Amino acid sequence: MGSDFIKGGNWIISDAMLRFTPQRYDAEIRFHKEMNLNLIRIWGGAITERPEFYEACDKYGLLVFQDFWFSGDCNGRWYDPLKKEDQWARRKYPDNHQLVLTAAADQIKMIRNHASLAYWCGGNESPHPMISLFH
């Protein structure tokens, strides 16, 4: 009986100018495969990648750990100058729950049919709310 070992890394937009082509995605995902990685985490503070990214992951057999775009600062633990009158108001993030649900539904519909999608995450950088109460 064998076992699987996950080796992965973060993917945070490889080009800030968004100059992507199918060939570029193919090459960059192939580089990850050649580095013996088998998982790529799409950081939620970045973008939902284009279909060509997921097609390349499908082609090379890389698993995708897909963050939703609200996975980072939605727990309100960082200072927000726009809410300086009440920093505890930040604990109520996201401000617009319907926007979060709509965005999540759009993201899921756009990329859900890719075999590479292994995991969806919506808060991996945030402590559990109950933990926050005790620190």
**CB-CB contact of 73 with 122 (8 Å):** no
Residue 42, beta-bridge partner list: 11, 66
Residue 104 burial (C-beta neighbours within 10 Å; 0-12, 13-18, 19+): middle
Question: What tens digit of pLDDT does each residue of 41-83 get?
Answer: 988 777 788 899 999 999 999 999 998 876 555 545 556 666 6
pLDDT band, residue 90 (cuts 50/70/90): low
**CB-CB contact of 66 with 44 (8 Å):** no
Q: Supply the angle between the helices 51-60 and 22-34 in degrees, to the nearest 10.
A: 40
CA–centroid distance for 11 within its chain: 8
DSSP state of 120: E
The pTM assigned to this predicted structure is 0.76
C-alpha distances out from residue 73 to 52, 104, 119, Å: 28, 16, 20
